[in-house]
């Protein structure tokens, strides 16, 4: 099915887009800071994506693409860095609204620092595997940055990340071939640990963590300045 990857974007966007205008979470009112955060983060990830696609670290099965490419990436891959953050930050906003009692406790800080340390060690050990090395370096370094910032929202981020793994397993499972004869996105296994949960490389879980963490960090920073300007 040539439009499969595109249909996955529509599926990903459908519920949060419909619920963006409901009166409780009021997600649509967050868009002035959400979309700049998405685009800032996307600039980093798309650059990374272009380089890794050119180097053959991963690639895309044209049987599931509509056939529009820009700088070597299919249109659907560009849309990935809009639809997935849009839906993922919606989960974060739901956590903020429905679970306001979650605080950034000492345990969440320890989790953040421990995860950063583990990823950086694993990166050094696997410096010959491009996806593992750079993914873990980027994620570990950004976790350290966030830990130093000590934001009030860190606990809610970890809860949102945990919840978002449920749709992640389904969507990424399709992309990596859990329900298909061939994957939509293929990986050069010489460039990763070749440890998979179902068909999903373990690196993808770290990639998803970094994608959500960067989006929420920029989103919260922009929210802070937006509120200041609004009340001047």
> CA-CA distance, 53 to 225, in Å (whole number)?
36
Tokens linked to 203: 């690196």
Phi, psi of 43 (to 5 degrees): -60, -40
pLDDT score at 227: 65
Radius of gyration of the chain (CA): 18
Interior/surface letters 92-124, b for 16+ CB within 10 angstroms, e for the rest: bbbbeeeeeebebeeebeebbeebbeebbebbe
- What one-character-per-residue DSSP string does 33-80 give? HHHHHHHHHHHHHHHHHHHHHHTTSEEE-GGGS-S-EETTEEHHHHHH
Q: What is the structure's pLDDT at 224?
A: 85
CA 95, 152, 139, 81 dihedral sign is: positive
Question: How many alpha carbons fall within 13 Å on the CB side of residue 23?
Answer: 0
- Provide the token pair at 26: 């009021």
* Per-residue confidence (pLDDT) for residue 230, from 0 to 100: 62
Give, for all 232 residues of the chain, the pLDDT tens digit.
Answer: 899 999 999 999 999 999 999 999 999 999 999 999 999 999 999 999 999 999 999 999 999 999 999 999 999 999 999 999 999 999 999 999 999 999 999 999 999 999 999 999 999 999 999 999 999 999 999 999 999 999 999 999 999 999 999 999 999 999 999 888 899 999 999 999 999 999 999 999 999 999 999 999 999 999 987 666 665 5
Residue carrying the six token digits 């491009």:
130
- Angle at 85 (CA atoms; ends 79, 86), nearest 5 degrees: 85
> What pLDDT does 225 receive?
79
Contact indicator for 73, 8 with CB cutoff of 8 Å: no
What is the value of pTM for the model shown?
0.95
> Could you give the 3-state DSSP secondary structure of residue 201?
strand
Q: Which residues contact 152 (CB under 8 A, 6 or more apart)?
A: 103, 104
């Amino acid at each position: 099915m040539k439009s499969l990857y595109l249909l996955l974007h529509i599926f990903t966007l459908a519920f949060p887009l419909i619920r963006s205008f409901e009166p409780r979470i009021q997600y649509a009112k967050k868009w002035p800071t959400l979309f700049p955060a998405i685009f800032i983060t996307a600039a980093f990830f798309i650059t990374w994506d272009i380089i890794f696609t050119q180097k053959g670290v991963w690639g895309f099965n044209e049987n599931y693409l509509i056939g529009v490419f820009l700088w070597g990436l299919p249109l659907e891959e560009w849309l990935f860095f809009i639809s997935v953050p849009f839906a993922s930050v919606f989960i974060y906003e739901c956590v903020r609204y429905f679970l306001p009692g979650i605080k950034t406790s000492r345990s969440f800080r320890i989790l953040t620092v421990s995860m950063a340390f583990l990823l950086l060690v694993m990166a050094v050990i696997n410096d010959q595997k491009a996806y593992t090395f750079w993914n873990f370096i980027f994620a570990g370094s950004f976790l350290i940055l966030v830990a130093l910032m000590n934001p009030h929202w860190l606990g809610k981020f970890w809860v949102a990340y945990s919840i978002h793994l449920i749709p992640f397993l389904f969507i990424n499972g399709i992309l990596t071939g859990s329900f298909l004869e061939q994957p939509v996105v293929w990986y050069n296994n010489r460039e990763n640990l070749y440890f998979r949960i179902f068909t999903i490389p373990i690196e993808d879980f770290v990639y998803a963590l970094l994608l959500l963490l960067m989006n929420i960090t920029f989103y919260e920073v922009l929210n802070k300045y937006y509120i200041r300007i609004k009340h001047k």
